[in-house]
Amino acid sequence: MDVAKAILLIAFGSSLVSIIYAVISAYLVMSKEEGTQRMKDIAKAIQEGAYAFLAREYKYIAIVAIVIFAILWALGSVSSHFGLLTAMGYLLGAFLSGLAGFIGMVVSVKSNVRTANIAKEGLKKALRLSFTGASVTGFLVTGFGLLAIAGFYYISVYLLGNSVDHTIKALIGLAFGTSLISVFARLGGGIYTKAADVGADLVG
């Protein structure tokens, strides 16, 4: 086994460990009680608002992503830095980044009420649960990122027969895709979460 394949194997293994840890963390959060009926009602309102926000945000993100995908593909006739492979990398990065953000948002809004409820048993348990819920997004981003880079490189070089240089250039598109989704999520999410924080304070 050459060095490149060994590194890819390590990347695949690390990504799977990260994703499995995120799944286990999400399960541990969801297994906790939500609290009183009043807490459940407020939490439900926050969750419905979060899902409506995500649906609207991701609708516009999808439109922008498709337009940029077409532009990157079309620019392949102008420069070797662009083309179908770069556009596909961009789309893969955008999809996985969006998926990690969506799952993270769902787990976060569901962990809020559970954290407020378990805080009655002590600050230590509340902090542990809140960090567990927040870690889901971090480990999913890491896991999906490693999986995307390693998988894209393996498919491009070993299955499609593209050169390493061409594949590295195309990986820039993947990074661009993940960054674009992060910008949308950061700007839009920051606005919405201020309202969600007010709801969480009401629960507390």
User: Which structural domain range is residue 163 located in?
Assistant: 3-203
Q: How many domains does the chain have?
A: 1
Distance in angstroms (rounded) separating the CA atoms of residues 84 and 46: 40
Residue ranges in the chain modelled with pLDDT below 70: 1, 185-204
Q: Mind giving me the DSSP string for 117-173?
A: HHGGG-HHHHHHHHHHHHHHHHHHHHHHHHHHHHHHHHIIIIIS---HHHHHHHHHH
pTM over 0.85: no
With 0-12 / 13-18 / 19 or more C-beta atoms within 10 angstroms meaning exposed / middle / buried, residue 139 is buried
| Confidence at residue 195, expressed as pLDDT on a 0 to 100 scale | 56
How far is the C-alpha of 96 from the C-alpha of 37, rounded, in Å?
Answer: 35
